[in-house]
Amino acid sequence: QVQFVESGGGLVQPGGSLRLSCTASTSAFSIYGMGWYRQAPGNQRELVASVTSSGNTNYADSVKGRFTISRDNAKNTLYLRMDSLKPEDTAVYYCNKARNVWSWGQGTQVTVSS
What pLDDT, on a 0 to 100 scale, did the predictor assign at position 28? 87
pLDDT on residue 68 = 98
Q: Answer yes or no: are the C-beta atoms of 35 and 50 closer than 8 Å.
A: yes
Tens-digit pLDDT profile for residues 41-86 = 999 999 999 999 999 999 999 999 999 999 999 999 999 999 999 9
Cβ atoms of 50 and 67 within 8 Å: the answer is no
